[in-house]
Structure 1
Amino acid sequence: MRSFVAILFTFCLVFSGLFAFASSNSALVELDKMADEALQLTKFSRLEEAKSILERFSVQFSKEGIKEGKFTMDELRVLTASHHEALRAVTNINMSLDERVRIVTSFRLATDAVASTHQPMWVEMEASVMKDFQGVKNAALEGDKDAYNQNLNTFLSTYTVIQPSLKIDLTAEKLQKLDSKITYLDRYRADFSEQEWTAHLESLEQDLQKLFSDPGEDEADPSLWWVISMTGSTIILTLSYVSWRKYRGQKQQSKRKRLK
């Protein structure tokens, strides 16, 4: 009887873990939907409505992220900063529509990076990022400084759209390595020569290609690993208990037969 109660208690722990994970995932889905809605409204210049959605997001995010501790410190920091920029984009009367959309898109991608359990949306930016980088590379190889500066500005603008998402999905070491190479391009843009920049540009191009082809391991939520671990342990314990009871019963039955 005690063994049965112990097994029942363990199953209760597992299912409570599953319920907690489902609840957490539901909250992330809701935040993700709000971020997407804010982006769609921004694209159609419905800025007051987009602002309202972003304010709702802030309240929900504060509740889920701070009070209930469902996000890591990095996720909290990145989403808070990205949300602040998105709110600024829809309230700044002097900002162009393209700039508004770019900033709110960055926020949308960052929210998805937190919520996604599979391939994140920022990976879909590969074509735009690589196209803009190719413009930088071509201008550098041709020695055209004016075209180089113009293309570099375009590339940097596109890269900043996915940068918050990268802060969430990449390790600090990988992101620092990538950012340092891009910063080098920007900082020394006036002093380049074809020979000097060829190796650097090719190295950065390889890093960008690897970034999109292998965006990194999609780490599951810690609570999910806890549930998986608990479930596996429960199954093992249950099977072991059943096998032991069966073995013990067979042994006692054999003993009784020998005594007859």
Structure 2
Amino acid sequence: MLKKFILITALLFAILIFPVYAESSSNLDKLDNISDKALEMAKLKRYDDSEKMLTYFSDQFIKKTAIEPILDMDELRIITVAHNEALLAIRDMNKGDSEKINSVTKFRLVMDAVKSTHQPLWTEMEDQMMNSFNQTKDAAFKQDATAFNNQLNLFLSQYEMIYPSLKVDLSKETIQQLDTRIQYIDHYRPEVMRESGSQKEFEALQEELTSVFEEMGQDDTDPSLWWVIISTGSIIIMTLSYVGFRKYEGDREKPKKERED
């Protein structure tokens, strides 16, 4: 009887936890969909509609985060900054089409990075970024200043677009390593082209970039879901252990009681 009671308690715990997880996931999905629609409108050059979606996102974002803490403080800050930049770019009449679209894309990638736990959208830029990087490296070794500067500028703009998303998905140490190497190459452009030792710097950065893109495809399970599974499993294991221990104690006491009788 006791065993059944504890097992039922464990199941009830799981049933109560899963709706909370599902609700959080649903709220993030809704916000993510709004950001996706804002980007679609921007790509179609329907900037008024894109602005409306961004404004609607702001309203929903405030409501949903006020009701439930679905995001941590870092994620709140990163999303807010990216959203404000996108809204300002869409409203700026002096911004070109590419600038507007890039700003909204940056925001869209951030929202997806917060929601996704496996292969976020920013990883789809791997081929573009690695192609720009390889051409930058080749131009540096050939000491082609024009090609080097053009390709490096392109790579930096791509890196800037996914940078907020990287801050969501990567550790601060990894971000700092990437920033240090990229800033060195950008700041010391003439030296990087002249010095033969710069090849090691490019190879180190290439290795880190490749590692970052590969690591994001390894774990496809939401950490929150793992927490639910582990918590429920722990309760069941403790329950079975307790029941087993009681049974063991009962079996050991039974001969003693019989002798006493």
With the shorter chain as reference, the TM-score category is 0.7 to 0.9
Which residue is equivalent to 2:50? 50
Which residue is equivalent to 2:231? 230
Matched ranges for 1:1-260 at <5 A: 7-192=7-192, 193-215=194-216, 218=219, 223-240=224-241
Between the aligned partners of 2:217 and 2:180, the Cα distance in structure 1 is 19
SS at match of 1:69: coil
More displaced stretch, 140-149 vs 211-220: 211-220
CA deviation after TM superposition for structure 1 residue 12, in Å: 2.5
CA deviation after TM superposition for structure 1 residue 253, in Å: 10
The aligned length equals: 260
Q: Deviations over 1:117-167 (max 9, x none)?
A: 321111110011011111211111111222211211111001111111110
8 Å CA contact 2:29–2:115 kept in 1: the answer is: yes
Between the aligned partners of 1:66 and 1:186, the Cα distance in structure 2 is 41
**Superposition TM-score, scaled by structure 2 size:** 0.86
Q: Deviations over 1:211-231 (max 9, x none)?
A: 212238659666434322231
CA deviation after TM superposition for structure 1 residue 100, in Å: 1.3
8 Å CA contact 1:17–1:223 kept in 2: the answer is: no
SS at match of 1:195: coil
SS at match of 2:94: coil
Extract unaligned runs of 5+ from structure 1.
Answer: none
8 Å CA contact 1:143–1:194 kept in 2: the answer is: no
CA deviation after TM superposition for structure 1 residue 9, in Å: 3.9
8 Å CA contact 1:117–1:218 kept in 2: the answer is: yes
1:234 counterpart letter in structure 2? I
More displaced stretch, 135-144 vs 188-197: 188-197
**Superposition TM-score, scaled by structure 1 size:** 0.87
Identity value in percent:
43
Between the aligned partners of 1:224 and 1:65, the Cα distance in structure 2 is 20
1:50 counterpart letter in structure 2? S
Between the aligned partners of 2:18 and 2:235, the Cα distance in structure 1 is 13
CA deviation after TM superposition for structure 1 residue 244, in Å: 6.6
Q: Name the Cα RMSD after superposition.
A: 2.9
8 Å CA contact 1:27–1:64 kept in 2: the answer is: yes
Between the aligned partners of 1:184 and 1:66, the Cα distance in structure 2 is 41
Extract unaligned runs of 5+ from structure 2.
Answer: none
CA deviation after TM superposition for structure 1 residue 64, in Å: 2.8
More displaced stretch, 192-201 vs 92-101: 192-201
8 Å CA contact 2:137–2:202 kept in 1: the answer is: yes
Change (3 A) 1:34 1:205: same
Between the aligned partners of 2:203 and 2:243, the Cα distance in structure 1 is 61
Q: Deviations over 1:10-35 (max 9, x none)?
A: 43322111110000011111111111
8 Å CA contact 1:142–1:194 kept in 2: the answer is: no
Q: Deviations over 1:33-59 (max 9, x none)?
A: 111111111000111111111112112
Change (3 A) 1:199 1:139: same
